[in-house]
C-alpha cells in the first residue's frame, strides 16, 4: 500500500503555520493555494508513477487523502474571492455581503444533502462507485467544482466531498468575519441556551485530548481533519491554542507517561464509578 503519511504530515504542519501567520488574509490565500497545488501535483505524480495496488487503497486515497488537501485549495480559493469582492468600506455593506455568502453556502449544502448525509453517517456501500475511477465515464465536468480536475486523478465525487469539507471551513471564516464586524453578535446560534464553557485545564492537556480524538477517528467518522477539530475546540471552549504540532512534539518527548491527561481522566472516572458503586 502506498504511504502518503509523510506528505500529509508535512502538509498539515505547513497549513497550520500558514493559518496562524499574522500576514494579510489575501496573502495567506495566495500562499495556501500555491501550497495545495504543489502537494496535489506531488500526489498526482506519485500515482502516475505507480498506480494503486487495490480498490480499497484507491478508495482510501480519493475519500480521505486527496480531499484533505483539495478542501483547503477550495477553501483558500473561496476566501480569496470573498476578500477581493467584499465592499471596501461601510460595515453594514460588508455584513450584508457576508450574509449573502452564508445563503449561498446553505444552498450548496441543500443541493447536496443526500451525499452529505451519506458521508457524514460514515456509509461505504457506494464507495466503489463514488471513489474509484472505474466510473469516470460519467465524470461530472461542472464549473461548480472546477478547481483542479484531471480524469486520471479524480473520481465522480471526490471533488464534491472536498468542497463539502471546504464549505465547513468557509463558514468558520464567514462567522469570524461577521463577529469582527459586529463583536458579541452570534450569527450561527443566536438562541444558544447553554452557558459559555471555558477550558480551565492546561492547553497541553487539551492538545492531548484533540490528538486522541483525531487518531481515533471519533469525529465525523474520521473525516474531520486536525485543523478543523482544533478550531472547533477553540470556538467551543473559548481558548486560543498555540501551535498544536509543536505541543504534540513536546508531548511525545515526555520522559514519563506520554498520555498523562488521558490517564488522569480514566483514573478519575473509574474512581467516581467505584465510589458510586460503594454507596
Tens digit of pLDDT for each residue in 162-171? 999 999 889 8
Residue 139 has what pLDDT? 45
CA 194 from centre of chain: 25
The answer on pLDDT for 232 being more than 80 is yes
Mean of the pLDDT values across residues 209-236? 83
For the chain, give the mean pLDDT: 83
The lowest-confidence range among 55-69, 171-185, 247-261 is 171-185
Mean of the pLDDT values across residues 257-265? 91
Residue 38 has what pLDDT? 92
Residue 143 has what pLDDT? 36
Residue, of 192 and 95, whose pLDDT is higher: 95
The answer on pLDDT for 35 being more than 90 is yes
Residue, of 244 and 206, whose pLDDT is higher: 206
Residue 239 has what pLDDT? 79
Mean of the pLDDT values across residues 7-31? 85
Mean of the pLDDT values across residues 145-150? 52
Tens digit of pLDDT for each residue in 94-141? 899 999 999 999 888 888 888 888 887 778 888 998 898 876 555 443
Where residue 18 falls among pLDDT bands split at 50, 70, 90? Answer: confident
| CA dihedral sign of residues 220, 224, 229, 232 | negative
Residue 8 has what pLDDT? 86
For the chain, what's the residue count? 279
Residue 195 has what pLDDT? 56
Residue 90 has what pLDDT? 86
The answer on pLDDT for 185 being more than 70 is no
pTM over 0.85: no
Mean of the pLDDT values across residues 134-155? 57
Amino acid at each position: 500500500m502506498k504511504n502518503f503519511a509523510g506528505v500529509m504530515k508535512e502538509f498539515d504542519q505547513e497549513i497550520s503555520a500558514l493559518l496562524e501567520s499574522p500576514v494579510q488574509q489575501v496573502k495567506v490565500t495566495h500562499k495556501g493555494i500555491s501550497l495545495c497545488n504543489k502537494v496535489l501535483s506531488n500526489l498526482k505524480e506519485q500515482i502516475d508513477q505507480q498506480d494503486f495496488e487495490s480498490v480499497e487503497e484507491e478508495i482510501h486515497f480519493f475519500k480521505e487523502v486527496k480531499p484533505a488537501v483539495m478542501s483547503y485549495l477550495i477553501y483558500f480559493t473561496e476566501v480569496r474571492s470573498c476578500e477581493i469582492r467584499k465592499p471596501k468600506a461601510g460595515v453594514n455593506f460588508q455584513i450584508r455581503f457576508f450574509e449573502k455568502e452564508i445563503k449561498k453556502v446553505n444552498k450548496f449544502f441543500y443541493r447536496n444533502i443526500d451525499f452529505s448525509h451519506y458521508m457524514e453517517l460514515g456509509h461505504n456501500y457506494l464507495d466503489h462507485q463514488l471513489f474509484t475511477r472505474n466510473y469516470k465515464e460519467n465524470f461530472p465536468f461542472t464549473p461548480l467544482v472546477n478547481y483542479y480536475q484531471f480524469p486520471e486523478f479524480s473520481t465522480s465525487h471526490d471533488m464534491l466531498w472536498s468542497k463539502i469539507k471546504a464549505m465547513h471551513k468557509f463558514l468558520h471564516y464567514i462567522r469570524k468575519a461577521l463577529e469582527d464586524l459586529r463583536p458579541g453578535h452570534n450569527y450561527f446560534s443566536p438562541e444558544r441556551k447553554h452557558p459559555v464553557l471555558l477550558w480551565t485545564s492546561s492547553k497541553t492537556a487539551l492538545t492531548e485530548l484533540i490528538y486522541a480524538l483525531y487518531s481515533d477517528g471519533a469525529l465525523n467518522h474520521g473525516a474531520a481533519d486536525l485543523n478543523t477539530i482544533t478550531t472547533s475546540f477553540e470556538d467551543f471552549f473559548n481558548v486560543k491554542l498555540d501551535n498544536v504540532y509543536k505541543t504534540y512534539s513536546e508531548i511525545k518527548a515526555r520522559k514519563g507517561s506520554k498520555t498523562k491527561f488521558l490517564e488522569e481522566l480514566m483514573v478519575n472516572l473509574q474512581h467516581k464509578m467505584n465510589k458510586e458503586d460503594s454507596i
